[in-house]
Amino acid sequence: MAKFGEGDARWIVQERPDGANVHNWHWAERDCLEWSRARLSALLAGLPVLSGEGGLTLRTTTLDKLDGEAYVNIRKGKVIPGYELSLTLSWEAEATSESGVAKVTGAAEVPYLADENADEDPELRITVRGDDSPLARRAKDAFIARGKPLVLEKIREYVATMSKGGPAKDELDAKKIPTKAAAAATGGTATAPASAVKEVAAPAPAPAAKEKKAKGKEKEGFKIIEMTEKFNCRSKDMYEILMDENRWKGFTQSNTRISKEVGGQFSLFDGSITGVNEELQEGKLIVQKWRFGSWADGVHSTVRMVFDEPELGVTIIKLKQTDVPVEDRYGNSTVVENTERGWTELIFQRIRAVFGFGI
């Protein structure tokens, strides 16, 4: 054993004289609150919502408030964003009529925007300042219909930027390994010395082998969710609840549209989840194509719910959801966890509590 101070220098980690954190090997944290304020203001302020349609002009004005914290941690080049924010955005509307121009103002408030819910749209509250006039109600309805999707789209842009490093992204790009940068600049790959190539060279695989390998990777990045749930009711009762939009609205307290036909579409939780019915057997089976709006375009999972009634008044649902992506379009890797929690806490547990089917 080496004595203190006599260890092999090749294995001793020392501080660099220039203090550089090479490739962000050590933990580094960047405060992103002020950057977030500027970024969200640029994204949200001055957005045109309506430009005279129906005699109404509507737009956002300023980001009045942004409270909370936002930061990016970097370790070994890996980005770990963190933020818990609340924000208030002002909007204004003008209506032109024979009697002149009338104005009304309001606010759009996001009470909680956090990295833990990055794969879900945040709650957005729309309010009117002043009297509850016909114009105020009209402007509020118009903002909910046309302005809310626009604001949520811009918030998703912010979330996506934070997942890639926020203000630290350019710094991360600049610190990438030089050989990779050189390869990208030349449109090819970094090459090793000829002697090294000679030592490791191997016959190129046949086209058929390449095709087989590619097919074997088609399901990489996807997971399967399976769960079994018990309810104190008839199987037809559970089937009717899961296929009835009015009951969905009741136990989720959100906007819902559900077709009861094979090939019909559905929209749950204010449009956060959409899909198509593929197979329906009353009281026995529901098969649906099913996706979150935050998933990459074209990605759909398959939900299969089999209903069993082993004894009168007891229903067992076996749920299997295949092709659930590991990450959403913003790079967040909590999709599977959030989907499982959604089924358990936001659907099945609420059905038990609201309809009295057991806890």
pLDDT, one tens digit per residue, over 221-250 is 899 999 999 999 999 999 999 999 999 988
Cα(40)–Cα(46) distance, rounded to whole angstroms?
11
> For strand 301-311 and strand 100-114, is the pairing parallel, antiparallel, or unpaired?
unpaired
Phi, psi of 179 (to 5 degrees): -60, -35
Give the pairing of strands 125-129 and 222-231.
Answer: unpaired
18: pLDDT strictly greater than 60: no
pLDDT of residue 122: 92
Judged by average pLDDT, the poorest of 169-173, 177-181, 300-304 is 177-181
Place of tokens 């019915």: 277
Question: DSSP readout, 234-293?
Answer: -HHHHHHHHT-HHHHHHHH-S--EE--STT-EEEETTTTEEEEEEEEETTTEEEEEEEET
* Sign of the dihedral through C-alpha 22, 24, 26, 29: positive
- The rounded distance, in Å, linking the Cα atoms of 259 and 351 is 20
Q: How far apart are CA 53 and CA 308, in angstroms?
A: 53
CA–CA gap between residue 241 and residue 55 (Å, rounded) = 42
Are 294 and 120 a contacting pair, CB within 8 Å?
A: yes
Average confidence score pLDDT of the chain? 80
What was the pLDDT predicted at 201? 39
The answer for residues whose C-beta is within 8 angstroms of residue 335's C-beta and 6 or more apart is: 119, 292, 295, 324, 325, 326, 327, 328
Using the CB atoms, write b or e for 25-44: b if 16+ within 10 Å. Answer: eeeeebebeebbbebbbebb
High-pLDDT (> 90) share of the chain, %: 44
State the Cα–Cα distance between residues 81 and 162, nearest whole angstrom: 6
* Range name among 74-88, 266-280, 290-304 with the lowest pLDDT average: 74-88
Condensed to tens digits (0 to 9), the pLDDT of residues 104-155 reads 999 999 999 998 888 889 999 999 998 888 888 989 999 999 899 999 999 9
Secondary structure element (H or E) that encloses residue 34, with its range: helix 33-44
Q: What is the pLDDT of residue 177?
A: 45
| Statement: residue 210 has pLDDT above 50 | no
- Residue 8's pLDDT band, with cuts at 50, 70 and 90, is low
Q: Which residue has the higher pLDDT, 281 or 181?
A: 281
As given in the structure block, the two tokens for residue 13 are 């980690």
Mean pLDDT of 87-101: 86
Tokens of 32: 């992103």
pLDDT at 343 exceeding the cut of 90: yes
User: What distance in Å separates the CA atoms of residue 340 and residue 119, rounded to the nearest whole number?
Assistant: 13
The pLDDT tens digits of the residues spanning 144-170 come to 998 999 999 999 999 988 888 888 765
pLDDT of 92 > 60? The answer is: yes
- In this prediction, residue 281 carries a pLDDT of 94
- β-strand partners of 258: 266
Tell me what pLDDT residue 3 has.
54
pLDDT at 199: 38
Mean pLDDT over 56-63 rounds to: 92
- State the chain's maximal CA–CA distance in angstroms: 95
With cut-offs at 50, 70 and 90, classify the pLDDT of residue 184.
very low
- For residue 183, the SS3 value is helix
Flag the least confident range among 172-186, 187-201, 228-242. Answer: 187-201
